[in-house]
Structure 1
């Protein structure tokens, strides 16, 4: 009995220390006996989340297919990539606190997604009609898209502080996976795949019944071997991706004891958060930049001039192709200026934040092939007599690398929030302005002449363009005041640019093999696309208390 009393006393001391670590929280008592704080996690909850996904890929392609450009069959293709995009949805779950330090539970979530793997054109062996085999680029792209996915997982966690939960999670996953194969006989096959997922996260109960969380998941769903229309073979796909997301949960009282933690009613009088302040801060972020599918158009004109200056013939060819770029994860410096002001007589506040981030995030894809389809008009025959006949022809634009980058980003986000004893939480949205650069490196045009590739443009051309692009941003964050003048700010910010198009122009002059003729022409190009960034920011800020300054009689 004495041992039990001693243990209870020690436990009460531990709880008192834990509650002291969380300003603004106190623990209810019943009949003079301290109630246990850990049941604040016990019960049902539901919430929403938003985040980034990347790393989707498809493996083990083995495809035989007609090659629309070279008149053969392409095989041994594998669709690879590490593309990404945005996901968002909701979750429901139940927690049960086993002890002051241990929590178990279960959670199910469903996400809408826009995740796309990198694809591009895949190399393969070409079996020509004459039986010869040569290793050439095949005109077949491969990729995988995720439109939605869901999970059902167990959660096991620890609570180093009564309101802070660190957890690991894992379980069942399912997703709609669409496999796409490009070319003249393109196919798209969608099916629901199943597999597993695992990860972990952190969740903070910042006020009674409300918590915020950040979570990482790795998901793997398997596929099957399926024959595709127009494909002489099959593909077995495994689709795998990463998800990094943040969310908010509301904890119901159903199935749980009465809440034992509450926010002090006199926060307004005890809070160290200034009533009105202007702040400046610096810090860094972990960011994910997702480049949505880029569209690359390239064309060429040709005017063939003989040595006497006569027009031998003229032509035009052009086409476009999609370019999928790998999302980039990076660490970047940030700076911010913010202002906030409390609504009179309440703990609610409003404000605005201006931030600058030097992202310097680049993504590139090598060996991009752009099909070219066109016609050539011959104006002189072999005896230099006037002649007019049109011939259709095919060609290829070979781009050594396609590179897109975002260097600078400015974000202005008005926000609304709620203050507590040592800080406040907030939500906001506003415009963004991003500096984007596109480089097309070493682009050369080839035409097909009786089955052989002929360099049409001689020396490769380089194109580049940079411009500022407007977009929109949304943010959610929390501040914690270390003193009335210094605070740390943690937030998640999502920014989406609008789609834009860039235009380029170059020219060439090259001899035509087998003829005493020089080909002169222009090669216009354009690129279009958009991108989004997701960043998890942390900064140290100094606040100028404007209310104190206005109250100073001097």
Structure 2
């Protein structure tokens, strides 16, 4: 029997006893590989669970004499709009097909420069409080607002590590996975002023010059991803993916002293004290990504 005929017989026997092996050989998806890619993402950034709390504690002086003291505070829930951007993205990954199967396992490390900013303008934080005249005067209730000219949330860098499971077809595979993420945020409260409706005067500036507070931090979160690939050649493929990320909450505090100018305020007394509070919130992000990738 010639060598060619002997090879055909062996191939027929293997097809009869190992059909899944032949099936796995027929797919155009390589058996394994490391890969790197770059692409573009369409992003939606949705602020969630937003709360601002502000409070002021103050002393009122006539000259150098303490005339009264008081405090007020309260929360509000700002509603920054959804922000949309187009951004560059990149990924590094590895996949491995399971023996005699169309299933595969893999994982990828993704980076997305979201560069999205959501801003809520003129946020009023309602204040309820009271003041007491010195010495031994009555306690008088009053209301007011701490006005934030802009409450600004910026999400820029986002990194995710996503293990995934996939299923191969002729020249492609689909996949789904989930993993941890890190999202860098910068949150800013700009031009913050405390006003009081007190002694018949509406909108009296208590805190004087506007203040600005900001904080930046990396938020831990979770990313859920689905996608599909198409192999142009054994070394090059296109990846179409969608990722949904939920972040943890930021919760920084702020505090600064204040002192108003009695001449500018048109009064004969001076108010000094501390304006403080906190701001809390998180983000949901959606990203549709198309990338070109090279398998190594």
Secondary structure class of the residue paired with 2:25: helix
Tell me, yes or no, if the aligned pair for 1:432 and 1:470 is still in contact at 8 Å.
Answer: yes
Match of 1:537 among 273, 285, 289: 289
Q: Distance in 2 between matches of 1:276 and 1:265?
A: 16
1:305, distance to aligned residue in structure 2 (A): 3.0
Secondary structure class of the residue paired with 2:238: strand
- Pairwise mapping of residues 477-488 of structure 1 onto structure 2 (< 5 A)? 477-488=227-238
| 2:145 maps to 1:390 | no
| 2:237 maps to 1:471 | no
Misfit runs of 4+, over 3 Å: 264-267, 511-516
- Pairwise mapping of residues 360-439 of structure 1 onto structure 2 (< 5 A)? 360-379=115-134, 386-439=135-188
1:178 paired residue number: none
| 2:85 maps to 1:330 | yes
Match of 1:341 among 83, 96, 104: 96
Match of 1:273 among 11, 26, 29: 29
2:111 paired residue number: 356
Q: Distance in 1 between matches of 2:169 and 2:44?
A: 31
Q: Distance in 2 between matches of 1:346 and 1:521?
A: 71
Secondary structure class of the residue paired with 2:77: strand
Secondary structure class of the residue paired with 1:388: coil
Match of 1:307 among 63, 79, 84: 63
Aligned length: 274
1:101 paired residue number: none
1:432, distance to aligned residue in structure 2 (A): 1.0
Q: Which has the higher contact order (CA 8 A, sep 6+)?
A: 2
Tell me, yes or no, if the aligned pair for 1:267 and 1:420 is still in contact at 8 Å.
Answer: no
Q: Distance in 1 between matches of 2:236 and 2:202?
A: 70
Match of 1:507 among 254, 257, 279: 257
Q: Distance in 2 between matches of 1:523 and 1:403?
A: 19
Q: Distance in 2 between matches of 1:394 and 1:346?
A: 70
1:77 paired residue number: none
Secondary structure class of the residue paired with 2:180: strand
**Could you list the runs of 5+ residues in structure 1 that have no partner in the other structure?**
1-263, 380-385, 545-554
Q: Distance in 2 between matches of 1:452 and 1:522?
A: 21
Q: Distance in 2 between matches of 1:525 and 1:372?
A: 12
Tell me, yes or no, if the aligned pair for 1:268 and 1:421 is still in contact at 8 Å.
Answer: no
Q: Distance in 1 between matches of 2:37 and 2:59?
A: 60
Match of 2:247 among 488, 497, 500: 497
Q: Distance in 2 between matches of 1:507 and 1:293?
A: 28
* Distance verdict in 2 for CA 1:451–1:307, change over 3 Å: closer
Secondary structure class of the residue paired with 2:24: helix
Q: Distance in 2 between matches of 1:389 and 1:314?
A: 11
Partner deviation per Cα, 1:321-371 (whole Å, 9 max, x = no partner): 111111112111101001111111211110111101000111111111111
| 2:237 maps to 1:524 | no
1:296 paired residue number: 52
Secondary structure class of the residue paired with 2:60: strand
1:388, distance to aligned residue in structure 2 (A): 3.5
Q: Distance in 2 between matches of 1:537 and 1:526?
A: 35
Match of 2:76 among 308, 321, 329: 321
Q: Distance in 1 between matches of 2:184 and 2:277?
A: 21
1:122 paired residue number: none
Tell me, yes or no, if the aligned pair for 1:413 and 1:475 is still in contact at 8 Å.
Answer: yes
Q: Distance in 2 between matches of 1:521 and 1:405?
A: 31
Tell me, yes or no, if the aligned pair for 1:341 and 1:350 is still in contact at 8 Å.
Answer: yes
Q: Distance in 1 between matches of 2:256 and 2:113?
A: 31
Tell me, yes or no, if the aligned pair for 1:304 and 1:519 is still in contact at 8 Å.
Answer: yes
Q: Distance in 2 between matches of 1:514 and 1:442?
A: 21
- Pairwise mapping of residues 117-266 of structure 1 onto structure 2 (< 5 A)? 266=22
